[in-house]
A and B are shown apart, each in its own frame.
Chain A
Amino acid sequence: MAERLLLRCRDIPELRRLEVYRRHGGYEAARKALTQHTPEELVEMVKASNLRGRGGAGFPTGMKWGFLPKQSEKPVYLCVNADESEPGTFKDREIIEDDPHQLLEGILISAYAIKCHLAYIYIRGEMELGYERLWTAVREAQAAGLLGKNIFGTGFDLDVVVHRGAGAYICGEETGLIESLEGKRAYPRIKPPFPATHGLFGCPTIVNNVETLACVPHIVARGPDWFRSIGPEKSPGPKLFCVSGHVVKPGVYELPMGTPLREIIYEHAGGIPNGRSLKAVIPGGASMPVFTPAEIDVPMDMDSVQRAGSFLGSAGVIVMNDTVCMVWALLTLQQFFHHESCGQCTPCREGTGWMHTVLERLEAGHGRPEDIDLLLSVAGNMMGNTICALADAAAMPTRAFVTKYRDEFEEHVRLGRCPLRAPGERRAHAHG
């Protein structure tokens, strides 16, 4: 795909400004949606496009919208999940900072489709620039009549509020986000009920990821058939891949869904630098099971990656070369999940910390032979047994790292130190 859509900001300077955005056809899809389509038609259009959520779970967006009650006395809310904080993931940030109107146009069309008149953008607290640029864009759109009352003369009203998070990964979980937006501690909610019926302030609510909503104007402008023609039909569309780690050109790449992982690493990102070789790659952000070099001939779409034993997740591709210690890599991940577990459910609260402790001693060379199976046992006891997916997010990488690189874990125990560094050498930890 030569043409960039989601990342048009790379080709058009100052696209974040409304005037530039409109000069390049901005808000025409929204005008078309609001003036030529009923909300129901738009829901059908998004269903027909097979658009699936870009936040990590890959749930069909149109189907999610369809779960809203047909008749409701209560207002409907749209919450935009801009709490991008999965390690290895930095795609939404570029849209937010450099093409905020693309997001707002997607919000406008989607809000119209689900009959919502107040949308909240929940943005990760650390994204200060994005927060400012979003508010600037919202004010521009309000001044131009693209937000506020009677948009395009259709009688449709929409207000958008940008709300900053305060630094917790769990706020990216959709019900944690809702709790946080309500001013509470971000404990993910037990389901049922689901947000579509009991969401923000107990009202019907849709939570969509930034990239997901950014796809919507293009679906309206070019039609669902066009969208479905990009990549595999069941999980189609343009996709942003975040490539980080040991590659020549780390960064965000807009490629068709289904682009092979090998092509992403070796062609688009330029391969592994300094004559080193690939040792491991996480395909979908820190939560997803790691691939060995033998496993990278996988098309990067939701179903194919899942068939290969991992998940596309947030498409955060983390590349590790042969200098990386797998015990240390897993320790770094578990340090994160331990720090970010909200502590609500017993298995996650206790399991993340426990795995962290065991990995610390393994990495330091104080591990015991039984620690390796202990990690698998703890991860197994966490899987599937909690309110939200954070426990799985911590357990899945543990299982994959320990299973696929078990000899390296055993080597740590046998030698009483990391085999990849000289005795006495200290490794820089994530926390310094």
Chain B
Amino acid sequence: MPTVEIDGRRVEVEDGLTVIQAAERLGIEIPHYCWHPGLSIAGNCRMCLVEIEKQPKLQIACNTRVVDGMVVHTQSERTKAAQRAVLEFLLVNHPIDCPVCDQAGECKLQEYYMDYDRQRSRVALADKVRKRKAVPIGPLVMLDQERCILCARCTRFLDEVTKTHELAIFERGNHCEVALAPGKTLDNPYAGNVIDICPVGALTSRDFRFRARVWYLEETPSVCGACANGCNIQVFHREGRIYRFQPRYNPAVNQYWMCDPGRLSCHELQGESRLLEVLRRTDDHFVVADWPAALDAAAAALREAPAEAVRIVASAKAPNEELYLLRRLGARLGAAVGGVAWSPPDARGDDFLLKADKNPNTQGLRALGLSPEGALEREVAALESGRVRVLVLHRTDLVAWGDAARVRRALEAVPYVVVLDTHGSETAEYASVVLPIAAYTEIDGTFTNHAGRVQRLHRAVAPPGAARPGWQVLAELLGRFEEGLELPSAARVFAAIASEAAAFAGLDYARLGAHGVPLGAADQVAAGSR
């Protein structure tokens, strides 16, 4: 284990670590553009040049391995002079169009200029090399060649991670430019990642650009709900509105990346079909109701029906806390609880991040003993038996997911239907009471991903309209059957899961951390349900 001294501080690190990584251990940031921990080392930007004792030339910290006794100076005059020089070179042909650049506020050129350069330009604007601007190179990505610093992060991502090679560097010297390879368009399902890793305004998001200045946005860590992979994300939002998802590093799940469908799923979460009101059916139309009255009505219906005539359906779109409370409600009433995990027929996965299972919590469903196998047919058949008097549908759009005509007929035969969901649906048309609940970006809670990793959701924005967190709604409903029930937070619900559900035994909500914790019995859960 070599010991290295950086700026007078010593740190012992494992073999093979580079200077840039060792400095990170000490909390010392060595500025860099081309280096990215998820990509190969290119060493081209030269921003990380540092002075190392006994080496005549400055060395790039990204490609220099630490050896025992190495002494590094990141603040010496030689290092600082090199940083100033590189930044000046990077700006020689840069258009300095920050006022109209969407990267402003999260641009490494801006940041490093302020931190390391602050010189006046020695180049006349008229002498700058002109290149193409605002070139759409795919459905999600806009290219500005003048702002590009040729760090080759994007081309390395497309060569090494997706292996799709859509972008390449053409020409030579200061005429170099990133452009599409002949006949290609940047449309692979991971294309959006090049926007995140581009350190400057060369690659911007056609979905996000010009919609918000990033310094106005708040960030909340969460987990993407678009499929079972559970990619860790950062939710960017302002005043209750989500503007974008970006991947958040999790070495066990998605490393630094996420897919484009997941990235764009933020829009559907706040689409026009969101349920904003509590509704009760009177005769042939819905009227707006208040929460206590609606819950009282639902509870009354449940109470009046014989246990064997009550059926509860929970879907894998729900977080663990909601599934648990539904299961507990069923147990309390003596009613059957079924679990459904539905994905569109054309759903596809791949060998990277995208999973064919488009539900974020199928493993959570299984871990709580609600096997989704054959569930849809089982539920429809149960309704067709004519014995169901009260049906609770939780985030379950039976009409859309099953044979629509058959499901409609079956639903018509059920006297009382409680629908809890985020979005309106044809299924909700059959409801006696509609309870609007929060989307996963609006609540605290947990999802269990395809590999059985339990990961934390954090409330980024408030639920729209009258919608409320599902766990809260279900706890209040359950409270109408359990005297003195007290579940005031998602954390408390999770604690109940951990103490009652064997698969979750030993898990502590407060200790799930930023990267989640695998279910202890995840393997058996998966095997048992197969």
Question: Interface with B: A60-68, A230-238, A257-265, A380-388, which one?
Answer: A380-388
Tell me how far the C-beta of A391 lies from the nearest C-beta in chain B, rounded to whole angstroms: 10
Tell me how far the C-beta of A334 lies from the nearest C-beta in chain B, rounded to whole angstroms: 11
Q: Point out the residues of chain A lying under 8 angstroms from B122, CB to CB.
A: 374
Q: Tell whether B89 is near chain A: CB-to-CB under 8 Å.
A: yes
Q: Point out the residues of chain B lying under 8 angstroms from A341, CB to CB.
A: 172-174
Q: Tell whether A346 is near chain B: CB-to-CB under 8 Å.
A: yes
Q: Point out the residues of chain B lying under 8 angstroms from A346, CB to CB.
A: 44-47, 86, 89-90, 149-150
Q: Tell whether B85 is near chain A: CB-to-CB under 8 Å.
A: yes
Cα of A363 to Cα of B138 in the assembled complex, Å: 44
Tell me whether A385 and B173 are in contact (CB under 8 A): no
A343 CB contact (under 8 Å) in B63, B90, B168, B173: B173
Docked complex: B122-151 residues within 8 A CB-CB of A: 122-123, 127, 129, 149-150
Tell me whether B172 and A168 are in contact (CB under 8 A): yes
Tell me how far the C-beta of B213 lies from the nearest C-beta in chain A, rounded to whole angstroms: 28
Q: Point out the residues of chain B lying under 8 angstroms from A276, CB to CB.
A: none
Tell me whether A350 and B63 are in contact (CB under 8 A): no
Q: Tell whether B163 is near chain A: CB-to-CB under 8 Å.
A: no
Tell me how far the C-beta of A263 lies from the nearest C-beta in chain B, rounded to whole angstroms: 34
Number of residues from B at the complex interface, CB < 8 A? 34
Tell me whether A381 and B173 are in contact (CB under 8 A): no
Tell me whether A344 and B127 are in contact (CB under 8 A): no
Q: Tell whether B93 is near chain A: CB-to-CB under 8 Å.
A: yes
B82 CB contact (under 8 Å) in A190, A344, A350, A385: A385
Q: Point out the residues of chain A lying under 8 angstroms from B57, CB to CB.
A: 384-385
Tell me whether A343 and B174 are in contact (CB under 8 A): yes
Would A340 and B46 be within 8 Å (CB), given that A347-B89, A350-B90 are in contact? no
Would A353 and B58 be within 8 Å (CB), given that A343-B172, A381-B89 are in contact? no
Tell me whether A350 and B85 are in contact (CB under 8 A): no
User: Interface code A309-350, partner B: CB below 8 Å = 1, 0 otherwise?
Assistant: 000000000000000000000000000001111111111011
Would A344 and B150 be within 8 Å (CB), given that A350-B92, A353-B129, A387-B43 are in contact? yes
Tell me whether A343 and B150 are in contact (CB under 8 A): yes
Q: Tell whether B88 is near chain A: CB-to-CB under 8 Å.
A: yes
Tell me whether B46 and A386 are in contact (CB under 8 A): yes
Tell me whether B43 and A340 are in contact (CB under 8 A): no
Tell me how far the C-beta of B359 lies from the nearest C-beta in chain A, rounded to whole angstroms: 43
Tell me whether B46 and A190 are in contact (CB under 8 A): no
- A to B contact number (C-beta, < 8 Å): 87
Q: Tell whether A150 is near chain B: CB-to-CB under 8 Å.
A: no
* B contact face: mostly helix, strand, loop, or mixed: loop
Interface centre among B46, B57, B58 (most CB of A within 10 A): B46
Cα of A85 to Cα of B103 in the assembled complex, Å: 42
Q: Tell whether A185 is near chain B: CB-to-CB under 8 Å.
A: yes
Would A385 and B63 be within 8 Å (CB), given that A343-B175, A345-B46, A352-B173 are in contact? no
Cα of A338 to Cα of B82 in the assembled complex, Å: 21
Would A344 and B44 be within 8 Å (CB), given that A350-B93, A385-B85 are in contact? yes
Q: Tell whether A253 is near chain B: CB-to-CB under 8 Å.
A: no
Cα of A353 to Cα of B129 in the assembled complex, Å: 9
Tell me whether A343 and B46 are in contact (CB under 8 A): no
Q: Tell whether B169 is near chain A: CB-to-CB under 8 Å.
A: yes
Q: Tell whether A357 is near chain B: CB-to-CB under 8 Å.
A: yes
Would A350 and B172 be within 8 Å (CB), given that A190-B41, A357-B127, A385-B85 are in contact? no
Cα of A187 to Cα of B156 in the assembled complex, Å: 14
Q: Tell whether A172 is near chain B: CB-to-CB under 8 Å.
A: no
Interface residues of A (CB under 8 A from B): 168, 185, 187, 190, 192, 338-347, 349-354, 357, 374, 381, 384-387
Interface residues of B (CB under 8 A from A): 41-47, 49, 57-58, 60, 63, 82, 85-86, 88-90, 92-93, 122-123, 127, 129, 149-150, 168-169, 171-176
In the assembled complex, 29 residue pairs joining A and B whose CB atoms fall closer than 8 Å, in A order, are A185-B168, A185-B169, A190-B43, A338-B173, A340-B173, A341-B172, A342-B172, A343-B172, A343-B173, A343-B175, A344-B44, A346-B46, A346-B89, A347-B89, A349-B89, A349-B174, A350-B93, A350-B174, A351-B89, A353-B174, A354-B123, A357-B127, A381-B88, A384-B57, A384-B58, A385-B49, A385-B58, A385-B82, A386-B46
